[in-house]
Chains A and B, each alone.
Chain A
Amino acid sequence: MLTVEALTSGYGQGQVLHEAAMELPPGKAVAVLGRNGVGKTTFVHTLMGLVKPWSGSIRLGDDELAGLDTRQIARHGVRIVPQGRRVYRSLTVEETLAISSGPGEWTIERVYELFPSLAARRGHRGDQLSGGEQEMLAIGRALLGNPRLLLLDEPSEGLAPLVVEELGRALSSLEGMSIILVEQNLHLAVAVADEVRCMVKGSFVYQATTAEFRRDPAAAKEYLGVGS
């Protein structure tokens, strides 16, 4: 489905990704884990074309995405829920969803079913929403593009535990969608993802199914610096 090979990129002179390689099986959710600053956000930004790849290949199905601009990548069916959410602050919930809606199975009504609290705020502007509501809006905006590949960058960042739980339930319900989830919150990551990849210094160094990763506390300790 998604095959990334020898991907390098960075900012200015500073190289961040070093020959990153991974495969995402179709319909699976993969969590990308790693300590702060190892290049997780740069990785998803490079997939979306927000950071230009220096070299390497990003194949989605039969399409080569490396070198395309962000809009073309979006047209190939990739959507991102960015870190910090980046909702349109002057647009209402309803307007944001309306301009993001394309042909396909996802409709605005279905987004409201997934996130009922968003439906209650449909007339509110992006900058009037809570962090959790903004995250839901950013996810809804991405889903309405009926993505073949959904990139989620730190969706739980700065959110209350109850809200994170609600997000986890919603994301787990997206069974069958191909997802790359960058997440610091290990509980959310293992609850949502089918597989786990760990990143160190801009490369992927570990891969396992979520079940294997749960039984491997040494990996969590080595790559994430957590004791569980």
Chain B
Amino acid sequence: MSLLVTAFDGIAFGCLLFVLAVGLTMIFGLLDVLNLAHGALYMAGGYLAFLVIGEVPTSLAVFIGVALLAVVAGLVLGGGLSVAIRPLTRRGHLDQALLTMGLAILLSEFLLQVADRGFHSLAAPRGLDGSIAGSYPAYRVAVIVAGLAIAGATFWIFERTRAGALVRAAVDDPEMLAASGVNVRRIRLSVVLAGCALATLAGVLGGPLLNLRAGLDTEVLVLALIVIVVGGLASIRGAALGALLIGQVQTLGVALVPELAAYLLFAVMAAVLLWRPAGLFGRAT
């Protein structure tokens, strides 16, 4: 029974990881930029919510309002990010890594200055702070529902709409898309904005699950990186499956073999890469 509860926790954590990782993988697929500030964006969402509502439970409406505020903040930060990385478009990955890592440090240190360096956690909103089916926290079920809804919406946009087809075409062959008269730069900007907004949204969603603290940005960034490497770069399906897998490995690992949990993640990643070097849904290049 407790294993089942842990497995359910893993699903909730996986859903959270998906919301974070899907933007990271699409930004990489479309711009060839690995955004190492993605963890700091998550952190920004969480701290923004903490600064606005503190650690006390609020109504669901206020909580959703704060989540929307975090989305707006993500759009603004995403705009800043795309301005910052534009000069580096044709430079190597190392330059981009240095830039986005620098931005991540600036952002996370700024957040820790504005708040403080202590541990904080958001309270689940009222109505979701109880339990379901006896003892399971209702908020985690809500995270699963929200994660699935976001995943479903992402799939639908990506696979069934004209906008999604344009994004996929821009991943496949941006030069030919431009040769059809399409403004590829605008598509890239939209994906950066959406990815960053999802990251800050994930920060609010995860606020009641993961403590806000110094170092949170790198911790979630590493998890998201493992997710997209396991799932395959630039694949939404891959991000979804990778997130659920890593969510399970992380929560089950911590519950069953706590001293090995950190290594277990990398062991799973290594095993997947040995089996499929491009990740589960990656493209062989």
- B89 interface contact, C-beta 8 A: no
B165 touches A98 (CB 8 A): yes
B16-24, B116-124, B174-182: which lies at the A interface? B174-182
- B166 interface contact, C-beta 8 A: yes
Closest CB of chain A to B129's CB: distance in Å?
Answer: 43
Count chain A residues whose beta carbon lies closer than 8 angstroms to a beta carbon of B.
26
A74 touches B169 (CB 8 A): no
Count chain B residues whose beta carbon lies closer than 8 angstroms to a beta carbon of A.
18
A91 touches B169 (CB 8 A): yes
Q: Which of B168, B176, B183 contacts A86 (CB 8 A)?
A: B176
| B198-225 CB contacts (< 8 Å) to partner A | none
In the complex, what distance in Å separates the CA atom of A82 from the CA atom of B181? 15
| B39-62 CB contacts (< 8 Å) to partner A | none
With A88-B173, A99-B162 as known contacts, state yes or no: A74 contacts B178, CB within 8 Å: yes
B176 touches A82 (CB 8 A): yes
- B171 interface contact, C-beta 8 A: yes
Q: Which of B179, B183, B184 contacts A50 (CB 8 A)?
A: B179
Main secondary structure of the interface of B (DSSP, over half): helix
Q: Which of A70, A79, A80 counts the most chain B CB atoms within 10 A? A: A70
- B95 interface contact, C-beta 8 A: no
Q: Which of A69, A88, A98, A142 counts the most chain B CB atoms within 10 A? A: A88
Q: Which of A70, A88, A99 contacts B178 (CB 8 A)?
A: A70
With A91-B165, A95-B165, A99-B165 as known contacts, state yes or no: A71 contacts B175, CB within 8 Å: no
- A203 interface contact, C-beta 8 A: no
- In the complex, per-residue mask of B97-113: 1 if CB is within 8 Å of any chain A CB, else 0: 00000000000000000
Closest CB of chain B to A226's CB: distance in Å?
Answer: 31
- A184 interface contact, C-beta 8 A: no
A99 touches B182 (CB 8 A): yes
In the complex, what distance in Å separates the CA atom of A90 from the CA atom of B169? 7
Chain B neighbourhood of A71, CB < 8 A = 178-179, 181-184
Closest CB of chain B to A150's CB: distance in Å?
Answer: 12
- A48 interface contact, C-beta 8 A: yes
Chain B neighbourhood of A86, CB < 8 A = 173, 175-176
Q: Which residues of A line the B interface, CB within 8 A?
A: 48, 50, 69-71, 73-75, 79-80, 82, 86, 88-91, 95-96, 98-100, 102, 126, 141-142, 145
Give me 23 A-to-B residue pairs in the complex whose CB atoms sit less than 8 angstroms apart, sorted by A's number. Answer: A50-B179, A70-B175, A70-B178, A71-B181, A71-B183, A71-B184, A74-B180, A75-B181, A79-B179, A82-B176, A86-B175, A86-B176, A88-B169, A88-B172, A88-B173, A88-B176, A90-B172, A91-B165, A96-B169, A99-B165, A99-B180, A102-B181, A141-B180
